[in-house]
Structure 1
Amino acid sequence: MLSLLSFQAHIENYRRKKYYALSLSILGGILMALGWYFPFSPLLFVGLIPMMELIEFYFDKNEKQKADTTTTKKKKYFTRLCFFIWIYFIVWNVGVYWWLWNALSVGVIGVFLLNAFLQLLPIIFYVFTRRFSVGFINYLSLVSCWLFFEYVHLNWVLSYPWMNLGNALGEVPMWAQWYEYTGALGGSIWILLANILGHHVFIKQDIKVGAYLVWILVPIGISYGIYASYNDEEMKNLDSVEMAVLQPNLDCYNEKFSRNPKTGEPATNHISFKDQIQRYIDLAKSVMTDSTKYIVLPETAFHQNSTEYNYTSQPDLEPIFDFCRENNLILIAGADTYKFYTESDTIPKTARQSNGGSYYDMYNAAVQFAPFVKDSISFYHKSKLVIGAETNPIKMILPNQSASLLFVDIMGTLGTQDYRGVFTSPNSKAKVAPAICWEAVYGEFCTEYAQNGANVIVVPTNEGWWGNTPAPRQLWALSALRAIETRRSVARAANTGISGFIDQTGKDISRSNYGEQTALKYKVKLNNEITFYTLHGDYLGRLAGFLAVFFFISAFVRKLRQ
């Protein structure tokens, strides 16, 4: 009892310090950022406590001065609270994806500031609802507001869900096996509630540490139990297919393209497209066996902007198509393609107009070439586009010229498709989900492939834009979460980055190193099981949305009655 009083007196004394709020902002942001990196993952369970203390500090200050606090002073306190929580989010954002600087340079500052501001919004909503509720309802409101924000951030035009709490567990997939039931939003709830308990344990000291530890350790124990249920015998009974993933290690800025995409200047060490195709063939030869059925190439491996009409007649691609014909191989590759529309077609908003007046769409596509049945060609168009690089959402609101001034517009808006296409072939039991790079960040989105019959996920990607930074590792970790959620094996082919294979439990089977020119092969398991999460998607986010709106309306009505 004496130690409790002593600790609380110490906290109260520290609260009087001039830089108390700022120190909480910086400390909390650093703790949360570190939680994104193994072996610091346990910091996720304490990293939100400084932010919660900031909110508690604000409400305590308001309560103590309630009688003589003017409206102006209340607004000042609230503004200060928002500012310091914004600083907290900025530090957290910078710590997690600082590597974006390598691709955007100074433009990344805008990303840090904007995403931190968006993260601030659910906290503002929570602070408003908290004024008119107490106890357990307060915390339910906090969880609902935050979870609904994450759900919205997965689905709206400015979608950037990189910082969703549940994504951080990709570094420790053995802790997240229950994602097959909840998806990554279930991990967000776990982390949020752990921090709420932690605030009561370490700051308020009105809950025993045992309850806090139980809340953290029991889900981990359940997760290991689920993992153990996927025993080797069950895995052996699944059909399999041998795939080879190729990592050509072409520098994005100075080798792959004729011009540096960042500066527009001629590339210093450009490798001709013909030689790039030959590198793909040589890598495939180095690893393939008589059992190899698929070779998988990275995102934009075929970057010469070819029409999808009569695609197998492209002379630049003839060598690799011939190689596949000779070896009975199915080829899956990333490609830049385009398609013209006829007068009878419905012209989508993403279409561009040529000098001749006709309309066409450009795509970041995946192409499957299967030489068994009249050189069968299938296309899938990437449909979760990278904001700025592949889509300018502001064009939906403003004219093209104004939108480009307000928002980075590197390639214009690419075409997409409404359904998650699955690659099939009569000569293979594999039904392949071609989740192109950024698409693998989205859990519910990837379940649509499984709903359409996919039994394995292939991720063509290009991680060379960010250099040898945590970016490739973080993208790999997100692919591990998609494997768990859908219980599908994942094959990743990176231009350079991390290529390799992940089994349906999220465990690494084999992986390359960054900057390595290599090819890997593995007999991936084909699983047709439909998980609970595959069926129901982000139901937790939708439920949170209902609760958040309910709490907000309830608080608004109570405010009017006052």
Structure 2
Amino acid sequence: MERLAGRIILLWGWRRLAAAFAAGALLVLTQAPYDFFAAGFVSFPVLVWLLDGSTAEASSNPLRRLKPAFAIGWWFGFGYFLAGLWWIGSALLVEADSFAWALPFAVLGIPLLLAFFYGFATAVARLFWANGITRIAALAFAFGLTEWLRSFLFTGFPWNPVGLAAMPTPLLMQSVALTGVTGMNALAVFVFAMPALLAARRNLRLGLALAVLLVAAHAGYGYFRVNAPVEASGGKLAARIVQPSIDLSEKWDESVRDRIFQTTMDLSARPPEAGRPTPQLILWPETSVPFFFTERPDALVAIGEMLKPTQMLVAGAVREEAGRTAPLYYNSVLAINDSGEIVDAVDKVHLVPFGEYIPFAELAERFGIGQLVAGPMNFVAGSQRHPIELPGGTTIAPFICYEIIFPELVAVDVRSTSIIVNVTNDAWFGDTPGPYQHFRQAQLRAVENGLPVLRAANNGISGAIDARGRVIDALALNARNALDVEIDLPGDLSGGQIASAEQRRFIGFAILAAFALFAFTGRIWQRLRAN
């Protein structure tokens, strides 16, 4: 191991950068759908050894001294995000005649920009760099801090945070209910990077002891949590999740809208399987209604006739509203009762840049940049969200598309919510890792909040997830079907939540602070010994 570490430390020029890129790309194997977490025990030690060798001339100014470390992190990030997000380009191939030109910008441009976060992380880590285990703590702090920044800077894009590598199964997801994703990101890097100590063997026993202790606590708590007795039940909700699997080339084609609508209606109207109760809730995916209800009141009449007494349909639809100079369009979830009346609506708050709206629209238009994928109109962000109450008093908190990837956004008030609902249309990304990674994030939101999740996706993955992140049932990708499930409702006001969003945030930052203090102490101690 010492010989291997030495070779990596002494790499120079393009070979150093290529090694960083390869280590980052390898780390993607820890994410869904691969879930090969052992790759993290290779990627992060290689990154540590590369940073060991990222030195600059002592006479350089502070920023120049950090440049080699930043370059290593940037190439590591570029490899990670390119290998992990290449599937985003699939959305541009749905209408290739119009948008294929933008493919290089999506496939390469997004990873190029996101890589700056990891370049920042390694530069920050290098500021605290010392010998032994404290440099591992510095890397853990820096990545934890950077992943937190990535969750909100420039509208935020916390897709595939490194902490997910330590949570491939429900048993290993439970710790996130305490630490939050911020804490898990730092802890995961600390453990995965620990094999780097095998080279010089300094602090090896301490490092291995800490790693074993953290892994044992992580797995042990997960085992206890998933096997703990379920709280007193608040009853059950029978739900039907509809996955119509509509071809996106037809999505906005006016000539086939009636057929699309009827397909979704037929799946919704099927009688329940033998022994299953009649669904109380029917859930349709994002933008599943292929027209405006204001133009087609007959569709609401048909829905009312289809629904049985006390049933409610919650459907993703585009909502039109009169504006001062032009109509305003919202990507919404509509609640429709058995009389065919829209009784509630929740608009999407966090829109996808360039997919649902154009940032700095006037400036973008000068360069001929327009909306790329989502539909024939730009959307307006909703101002607030609220739970939707179903007949019988059950309340659901709806989140549209990638809103589910934001832990702070999905920090629901468990005193007023019984179920988290996620409607999406991942058909843009085809049969790629994208839908699996998206579904994994929904599992984490269930565990964090201690609430079940119902998820309806146009072409998958649709399914039901319990409050421990376990998949109750799901439909395969690209299947056209309706899934009937029964969900256990929380029996108390806490909803089974272990820590509130504020408490998870505090614990997560406390973990970052502990690693920062550990790294800073090691740096100071090394300087004192040198003098």
TM-score grouping bracket, smaller chain normalisation: 0.7 to 0.9
* Sequence identity percentage: 20
Q: 1:438-449, aligned counterparts within 5 Å? A: 438-449=402-413
Cα 1:536–1:498 shift into 2, 3 Å: same
1:49 aligns with 2:45: yes
After superposition, residues 8-407 of structure 1 pair within 5 angstroms as 8-9=2-3, 11-13=5-7, 15-18=9-12, 20-37=15-32, 38-59=34-55, 62=56, 70-71=59-60, 78-104=66-92, 105-108=103-106, 109-127=108-126, 129-130=127-128, 140-169=137-166, 171-202=168-199, 204=201, 206-208=203-205, 210-211=208-209, 212-229=211-228, 231=229, 234=230, 237-252=233-248, 254-258=249-253, 272-288=256-272, 290-307=277-294, 314-324=297-307, 326-341=308-323, 353-354=325-326, 360-371=327-338, 375=341, 377-393=343-359, 395=360, 400-402=362-364, 405=367
Q: CA 1:292–1:533 in 2, change beyond 3 Å: closer, same or farther? A: same
RMSD over equivalenced CA pairs, Å: 3.4
Structure 2 equivalent of residue 501 of structure 1: 464
Structure 2: runs of 5 or more not aligned = 93-102, 524-531
SS of 1:43's equivalent in the other structure is: helix
After superposition, give the CA deviation of every residue in 1:157-196 in whole Å (9 maximum; x if it has no partner).
Answer: 3311103222345532210112222222232122121134
Judged with a 3 Å threshold, the aligned counterparts in structure 2 of structure 1 residues 541 and 123 are, in CA distance, closer, same or farther, namely farther
Offset of residue 460 of structure 1: 1.0
The one-letter code sitting in structure 1 at the alignment partner of 2:429 is: W
Read off the aligned partner of 1:35 and give its amino acid letter: T
1:479 deviates by 0.7
Distance 1:553 1:174, change over 3 A: closer
- CA distances 1:317-374 after superposition (whole Å, capped 9, x unpaired): 43123212x45420000011122257xxxxxxxxxx32xxxxx4311100011237x9
- Encode CA deviations 1:128-173: one digit per residue, 9 max, x unaligned: x327x88777555543333232222222333111032223455322
Structure 1 residue matching 2:379: 3-state secondary structure: coil
Number of aligned residue pairs: 498
For residues 42-78 of structure 1, the C-alpha deviation after alignment (integer angstroms, 9 at most, x for no partner) is 323442222222211124xx5xxx6xx5438x97774
Residues 279 and 98 (structure 1), Cα distance of their counterparts in 2 relative to 1, 3 Å cut: same
Following superposition, the deviation at residue 523 of structure 1 comes to 1.0
Determine the C-alpha separation between the residues in 2 that align with 1:188 and 1:463: 26
CA shift in 2, pair 1:14/1:200, >3 Å:
closer
1:123 Cα offset (Å): 2.4
Work out the CA distance in 2 between the residues paired with 1:361 and 1:552. Answer: 51
204-213 or 497-506: bigger deviation:
204-213
The Cα shift of 1:125 comes to 2.9
CA contact (8 A) 1:498 1:512 kept: yes
1:431 offset after TM fit, Å? 0.4
1:346 is aligned to none
**Could you tell me how far 1:91 is from its partner in structure 2?**
0.9
Of 437, 440, 456 in structure 2, the residue corresponding to residue 474 of structure 1 is: 437
**1:368–1:449 CA distance, 2 compared to 1 (3 A):** farther
- Letter of the 2:242 partner, please give it: L
How far off its partner does 1:469 sit?
Answer: 1.0
In the superposition, relative to structure 1, how do residues 377 and 87 fare at CA in structure 2: closer, same or farther (>3 Å)?
Answer: same
State how far apart, in whole Å, the 2-side matches of 1:498 and 1:203 are: 46
Q: Which amino acid aligns with 2:304?
A: F
Offset from partner CA, 1:372-416 (integer Å, 9 cap, x none): 7x93510101112112212334x2xxx613477396644676323
| CA deviation after TM superposition for structure 1 residue 203, in Å | 5.7
Asked if the contact 1:246/1:284 (under 8 Å) is kept, the reply is yes
> Cα 1:551–1:158, aligned 2, differ >3 Å: closer, same or farther?
farther
Post-superposition shift, 1:88? 1.3
2:387 aligned partner? 422
1:54 aligned partner, one-letter code? L
| In 1, Cα distance between equivalents of 2:485 and 2:203 | 53
Distance in 2, Cα, partners of 1:521 & 1:469: 26
8 Å Cα contact 1:176-1:187 kept in structure 2: no
**Structure 1 residues 519, 169: CA separation in 2 closer, same or farther (over 3 Å shift)?**
farther
Secondary structure of the structure 1 residue equivalent to 2:403:
helix
Rounded to whole Å, the distance in 2 between the matches of 1:523 and 1:245 is 11
Q: What is the CA-CA distance between 1:251 and the residue it aligns to?
A: 1.2
Residues 160, 437 of structure 2: 8 Å contact kept: no
Task: Report the residue type matching 1:381 in the other structure.
Answer: D
Give the whole-Å Cα distance in 2 for the aligned partners of 1:319 and 1:271. Answer: 19
How far does residue 227 in structure 1 lie from its aligned partner after superposition?
Answer: 1.1
For each residue in 1:503-538, what CA deviation from the matched residue of structure 2 results, as whole angstroms up to 9, or x when unmatched? 111111111111110000111111242521345353
Asked if the contact 2:281/2:311 (under 8 Å) is kept, the reply is yes
Query: Do the aligned partners of 1:483 and 1:505 also contact (CA within 8 Å) in 2?
Result: yes
Residues 227, 45 of structure 1: CA spacing in aligned structure 2 closer, same or farther, 3 A cutoff? farther
Structure 1-normalised TM-score? 0.79
Q: Select which of 475, 489, 514 maps to 2:452.
A: 489
SS in 2 for 1:447: coil
